[in-house]
Amino acid sequence: MTTEQELRQKLRKIAALFEGATSAGERDAAAAALNRIRTALSAAERTEQVAEMTFRLPDRWSRQLFLALCRRYGLTPFRYPRQRHSTVVLRAPKTFINTTLWPEYLEIAQALEEYLNRATERIIQEEVFGDAAEAEERPGDPKDSAAVGFSLEG
């Protein structure tokens, strides 16, 4: 079972990987590594055309993580009027987005999802009911059912 502290340590390791840390001493100097990335980003902005990219992030947690990563690197995410809250627009060099920002986001998002899924399952089993398995599948055609449907999906 992963504790919150273990998750935090894993997130630091992921950040260190993307910040170019190669030794324990360098990982301890995370601020210097972050400055290296910001310097590289600034250089890329001078030599490479800045692209405007649109991201559609499916839920609040994904969006919060992505926004925090953008701001960590000094980028300013935004959206245009009438765009959904799930949409984030970003102006940055494509190489930075493709080689640093997006891969780091995906890796951190996966680590967080795994942790949150395990924590949710454990809490449901311990506090709601021990059997939280998926619903059984029964033969028949759902079109023949008189069941009333509900959905939390938008």
pLDDT digits (tens, 9 = 90+) for 70-125: 999 999 999 999 999 999 999 999 999 998 899 989 999 998 899 889 888 988 99
Taking only the tens place, the pLDDT of each residue in 13-29 is: 767 666 665 566 655 55
pLDDT interval class at 1 (50, 70, 90): very low
CA atoms within 13 A on the CB side of 19: 24
Residue 20 is predicted with a pLDDT of: 61
Looking at residue 138, its pLDDT comes to: 86
Conformational region of residue 47, where left means phi above 0, alpha means psi within -120 to 50, and beta covers everything else: alpha
